[in-house]
Structure 1
């Protein structure tokens, strides 16, 4: 006698396969959804960082499509509503950053963690053109004079040789790990002989015809010299923080009129005549100074050469680029600098700030890049220019002078974007819930996968929610307070 289980199980499976169309005719809406979900293998991949530090970019169990919203907030992602294209996420390779990585016994491991697919896959970096306040060697530019010389309008002394010691090797290694890596380059100062101070520290750009010509040639030669090294420069900013002058480290002021005239009459036409594809980005200073780029863009000739405006985080409202974009919808927004440091010892609060104000906040404000300040510094927040400049800035990683390194909260903040959001991704529509609530952003990658990043900015409560996309629902329970999660739908 044949036992019942050995006969009944295949019998009922076959009957369902044959008659499922009949069942559907009489099914209720709830049953219909259940039957559809029974054959739906859609899942969200999950990566989590918690504010308490217990989980750091941790690969969690996937979330499967479920029936209904199961309560909580509804995060609706509209795949058909497109915003800006993303260029990438990362930080700056200052002289100090390159130095500490290059001289670390764990150099190659650090580079893989920063730029490799097994790490956080940084896709965009900012390069200091010459000296800044974070220097392992004395500050320099690419056209410094010999003793007794006063000018060099033909740029006879132009050279990137000082970058060859450790900056260019680090850049080449980064590109070998991630060939899609893009670079934006920014000078902290022009050569001293182009300035009113006649030094690299402080002073203003000398806005006269021959200095405009010389500075334009300076940018051209820099781009060409780096191209000869196999390092393409995607973009340049005219001047880092052009409203700041300090007599203790490399800085230079440049009025908006000077920046406008440089781009309009000299640099823009020069790039065009030499078929230079590197984008020209203006401003590169705080959210609070939006009048500066607004004045420049009011000139139609100047604006025809300008690809975007760069922003820093140190003053002003983080949503300034959103309103600026509304006024200048054809101008790209680039977020290029914000630093963590000894002043922000609450890592959970730093994580929320980084995600809410920067990586989510700036991309929701149309930013094509979100970049932090130093990619790496040592345990003393250096090397730096004496006791000047930032004294307690923190790198994305801390590389100890006696060996070893630590991944800081900035590493995981960048990673929640750069590891998953591919260059060329398009931002999609997703909801805003409130300042101390969930903050969301979503992207469609070139390979059609969708990335959704959500931070729970509330300091006291977990959050449960349902992600809805393409008519499917994915319920996620109890995202801890001050924590961030990245979902990937493939």
Structure 2
């Protein structure tokens, strides 16, 4: 009996001091884990994210926000610098969405915003919330429909607005015929059926020659709102870009195969969320980055346009909900991980979209550079290897937005030339943009 007790005492002492690991290292039980062996950067990893610049996807038209209905609080020059400038501490947006305003005062404010954005290199998109009241069935800016006998007048009205903008130094990139024509609301609006959209685009879209043309923007990017238009050869010929919003839209419904089959660019022209209130909350703000990732990789959209650029839920604050007026928010810095580096004219290229759990990757090329955007939604650091096939670049510069960083440049990382790859530790709940250095 004494021998048995002595055996268990010795065993307890041995286990209390050490145990043998699989690699022969000895650890103290209850002590720190052994330092893992560094990953060999010259060896390809099974969960590497492969970037293939030779395999191209959609063209990128840009990233933007709206400044509509700002009658009592127009944005300042400083605000527009923060949103559309591309220097340090600026978001670098490249698209402004304005309203086709029916009255002169509102139109002048929209023009001023457009001029300020255009001076900073932005494209301008215009959206009407309603045709003039006299053109509508209820003679009101709220609700109702465009009278059939007013179709031609309305086409000329939109074309004249585009001419007005160009005369004042701001040619439009695109004008749509209606904001959310498939959604009945109690503010400035107009209801459009799919048949009305098709008939207008078919019979009168050709009159709009001073800008590219977009059909009515569905509030949920409902395909049925524009399918009839795209399936009518005459109407389809008048469509340059198909736009829509993603309020409540399932990610699985982002793709629009018919529009892509017809060779049309897809623009996500409005979305926002106030569910987390302040745009400075983290990691809530990172959700915008994931949404942009899904829009680019799943939806194959060429443009992503947020709702208000200046608001407590926007890219610069307005002084409410813990934001400072005119100061870039966390959401703004997340957006800038895309918008500052992926410029109009870039192309999305093939990349492994989710190389490991909670890591999401998209990639783009332009101006001789490869840009990789990696999101780590985990609360753990993730080691991620990136392979850029056929690259001539020797290094990348990372830019990180996280709970403690606002698009901060990090030390360059060498690309291992033998395998065209580099390793990086993605911080918890972060978005990192890598830009190749030649």
**TM-score tier after normalising by the smaller chain length:** 0.7 to 0.9
1:334 paired with 2:267, answer yes
Which residue is 1:461 aligned to?
380
Q: In the aligned structure 1, how far is the partner of 2:372 from the partner of 2:129?
A: 35
Aligned CA-pair RMSD: 2.5
1:265 CA displacement: 0.7
Aligned with residue 86 of structure 1, among 50, 60, 63: 60
Q: Structure 2 unaligned runs (5+)?
A: 1-39, 392-418
What does 1:202-351 align with in structure 2 at a 5 Å threshold? 202-206=143-147, 208=148, 210-247=149-186, 249-267=187-205, 269-271=206-208, 275-276=209-210, 278-287=211-220, 289-324=222-257, 328-344=261-277, 347-351=281-285
Q: CA deviation at 1:361?
A: 1.0
1:473 and 2:412 equivalent? Answer: no
Distance of 1:220 and 1:461 partners within structure 2: 53
- Distance change in 2, residues 1:69/1:100 (3 Å): farther
- Aligned equivalent of 1:451: 371
Mapping of 1:99-248 within 5 angstroms? 100-102=73-75, 107-118=76-87, 119-130=90-101, 141-142=102-103, 160-164=104-108, 166-176=109-119, 178-179=120-121, 181-206=122-147, 208=148, 210-247=149-186
Contact preservation (8 Å) 2:221, 2:243: no
Which has a greater percent of helix?
Answer: 1
Q: 1:329 to 1:265 in 2, by over 3 A?
A: closer
User: Distance in 2 between the 1:242 and 1:108 partners?
Assistant: 33
Contact 2:82–2:316 (8 Å) recurs in 1: no
Gapped regions of structure 1 (runs ≥ 5): 1-65, 131-140, 143-159, 380-393
The one of 293, 300, 306 equivalent to 1:366 is 300
Distance change (3 Å), C-alpha of 1:125 and 1:167: same
With over 3 angstroms needed to count, the CA separation of the structure-2 counterparts of 1:463 and 1:186, relative to structure 1, is: same
Q: Is the 8 A contact 1:101 1:399 kept in 2?
A: no
Per-residue deviation, 1:409: 2.9
Shift of 1:407: 2.2
TM-score by length of 2: 0.77
Shift in CA distance, 230/261, structure 1 to aligned 2, threshold 3 Å? same
CA–CA separation in structure 2 for the residues paired with 1:407 and 1:366: 27
Alpha-carbon shift at residue 349 of structure 1 (Å)? 4.8
Match of residue 28 from structure 1: none
Q: Give a deviation string over 1:262-291, Cα, whole Å, max 9, x none.
A: 111112x213xxx53x22112312346222
Q: 1:482 corresponds to which residue?
A: 429
Which 4+ runs in 1 deviate beyond 6 A? Answer: none
**Alpha-carbon separation, structure 1, partners of 2:42 and 2:219:** 44
Query: How much does 1:416 deviate?
Result: 1.0
Report the Cα distance in structure 2 between the residues aligned to 1:452 and 1:238, rounded to whole angstroms.
35
How far does residue 223 in structure 1 lie from its aligned partner after superposition? 0.3
Deviation at 1:127, TM superposition (A): 0.9
Between the two structures, name the one with larger relative contact order (CA 8 Å, sep ≥ 6). Answer: 1
Contact 1:340/1:410 (8 A) holds in 2: no
Give me the whole-angstrom Cα distance separating, in 2, the residues matched to 1:405 and 1:449: 31
Q: Compute the TM-score of the two structures, normalised by the length of structure 1.
A: 0.69
Give the Cα–Cα distance (whole angstroms) in 1 for the partners of residues 43 and 294 of structure 2.
26
